Structure 1
Amino acid sequence: MSSPLPTCPACHSSNVVKNGSIHNGKQNHKCKNCGRQFVQDPQNKIIDEATKRLIDKLLLEKIPLAGIARVAEVSEVWLQQYVNTKYQQVERQVRVSPSKKGRLTVECDEAWSFVGHKGNKQWIWLAINRDTREIVGMHVGDRSRDGARALWQSLPPLYRQCAVAYSDFWEAYETVLPSQRHRAVGKDSGQTNHIERFNCTLRQRVSRLVRKTLSFSKKLENHIGAIWYFIHHYNASLQL
């Protein structure tokens, strides 16, 4: 004879059904009244620092959160909370190695992404130093002049003073970037090859940017945090 189902810890309803298993194989339940999911007699698991370091590395690879939870043997609920906190704390400003005042060349481009559904487009504006390959500017927003302006403002002051910026013919660049230091070029010119290559790297490494995926972002804050997290890692790796 099967054991009776537990009552919901949130609303104390007995209208409860079995709802699969959690990562450790324990029976999961769902309350049909309030929607709360829970396990009977839950036991808190202390996540050690080694596991957290592993998760930090896995977040830099094209792996969905459900896959990371399976590999690290943590619950998806805990992992989502950990990721939320981590992405909230990520610095929203580039860390760029010092450059001497003089000739600086940057390449600019924007990449399409979305949050929640494909109708909610979020454009990733990027600028790369052609010589060092560092990302020197980034902004996530719409594809208007405001987006181009935010990208330009995200560059370190020295770049805004001295750099020559190459971009495609998107009109937002021409109306925002200083005309004497902006060069609009076609993709066949090769002048924006490095930033286009980085866009490809970004899509290959950040799972929520893959066009056909179930790992897309549901929260804009996490979307932006994940991109910044990867960019900081990428820039730091160039110094190794």
Structure 2
Amino acid sequence: MVLTTTSCYKCVGGTISCDSCAGNLIKYGRDIRGKQRYFCKKCIKTTVLFYTYQACHVETNPKIIALTKEGVGILSMARLLSISATTILKRIKNIASTLFPPTLSNNQEYEVDELKTYFLQKSNPIWIAYALEKESRRVVSLAVGNRSNFILNQVLQPLIKTYPKMIYTDKLKNYKHLIDNNIHSIRNKSTNHIERMNLTLRTHLKRLNRRTLAYSKCVIMLESIVRIYCWSI
């Protein structure tokens, strides 16, 4: 004979665990669709066991991050996760808004470069300017916009505040006016690491591929995708 045990979910010591804090859930009425709701006394959150919309699951955001870093397009991501493309776009923007560049150390060497792409159509060029820490190969600063002193300065200012040993760039004239000569170098092959990173970005991110229909429709989405790729864990 196989013995089976049952427990009352209405009790405080029920066996259903909260996804947020692993605390026990108790019954908490029903929602407008008649589904049973549960309440966690530990984190004071309500939930249901089976959501109608897949976007409500706690593992949705990590999946979006993983698929984004694998170069999956928005429509493909929507099909794989059974979520609308509009929801995917909103989630990507929300995730990117919570990401920040890593903390910089003093007296480091950096490589700075710009990656050209476009949005809406090829007649609208736009640049991803960013800085790479030479030792750790981390992207430590980035900005998206036209290739002007204002955009480049957004990338350079966090680096200059850390008293860097050297900042390596290409021969773009703008850098001469933004970086002190004592810490600026344009020597040959000094930006090899960031040039390789440019190729990695074009390979991994679908909207940066040379020939694709998955081009960026707006600057905000382009910057959000790059932030997720560079700064999400």
Cα deviation, residue 217, structure 1: 1.3
> SS at 2:71's partner residue?
coil
Q: Quick one: percent identity of the two aligned structures? A: 25
> SS at 1:62's partner residue?
coil
- Give the residue type in structure 2 aligned to 1:144: S
Corresponding residue of 2:83? 74
CA distance in 2, matches of 1:128, 1:85: 25
Deviations 1:205-239 (A, max 9, x none): 22211121111111211111111111103xx5xxx
Aligned CA distance change for structure 1 residues 79 and 55 (closer, same or farther; 3 Å): same
Cα deviation, residue 192, structure 1: 0.8
Deviations 1:46-94 (A, max 9, x none): 432234422221011211111111111222233233334333x243x42
- Give the residue type in structure 2 aligned to 1:45: Y
Query: Given that residues 126 and 138 in structure 1 are in contact (C-alpha distance below 8 angstroms), is that contact kept between their aligned partners in structure 2?
Result: yes
Number of equivalences: 182
Query: Given that residues 168 and 191 in structure 2 are in contact (C-alpha distance below 8 angstroms), is that contact kept between their aligned partners in structure 1?
Result: yes
CA distance in 2, matches of 1:171, 1:114: 22
Corresponding residue of 1:191? 190
Q: Does 1:144 align with 2:151?
A: no
Deviations 1:79-123 (A, max 9, x none): 233334333x243x4213x53x44x21111111011211222111
- Give the residue type in structure 2 aligned to 1:139: A
Instruction: Select the residue among 172, 178, 192 that pairs with 1:170.
Output: 172
Query: Given that residues 90 and 225 in structure 1 are in contact (C-alpha distance below 8 angstroms), is that contact kept between their aligned partners in structure 2?
Result: no
Q: Give the aligned CA root-mean-square deviation in angstroms.
A: 2.1
TM-score between the two structures when normalised by the length of structure 1: 0.69
Aligned CA distance change for structure 1 residues 156 and 182 (closer, same or farther; 3 Å): closer
Corresponding residue of 1:64? 73
Corresponding residue of 1:182? 184
CA distance in 2, matches of 1:60, 1:138: 17
Cα deviation, residue 156, structure 1: 6.7
CA distance in 2, matches of 1:213, 1:117: 12
Corresponding residue of 2:45? none
Query: Given that residues 109 and 195 in structure 1 are in contact (C-alpha distance below 8 angstroms), is that contact kept between their aligned partners in structure 2?
Result: yes
Corresponding residue of 1:223? 222
Query: Given that residues 139 and 154 in structure 1 are in contact (C-alpha distance below 8 angstroms), is that contact kept between their aligned partners in structure 2?
Result: no
Corresponding residue of 2:112? 108
- Which structure 2 segments of 5+ residues have no match? 1-50
Query: Given that residues 54 and 83 in structure 2 are in contact (C-alpha distance below 8 angstroms), is that contact kept between their aligned partners in structure 1?
Result: no
TM-score between the two structures when normalised by the length of structure 2: 0.70
Q: Between Structure 1 and Structure 2, whose CA radius of gyration is higher? A: 2
Query: Given that residues 123 and 142 in structure 1 are in contact (C-alpha distance below 8 angstroms), is that contact kept between their aligned partners in structure 2?
Result: yes
Corresponding residue of 2:48? none
Corresponding residue of 1:50? 59
CA distance in 1, matches of 2:86, 2:191: 41
Aligned CA distance change for structure 1 residues 52 and 162 (closer, same or farther; 3 Å): closer
Aligned 1:22-41 pairs, distance under 5 A: none
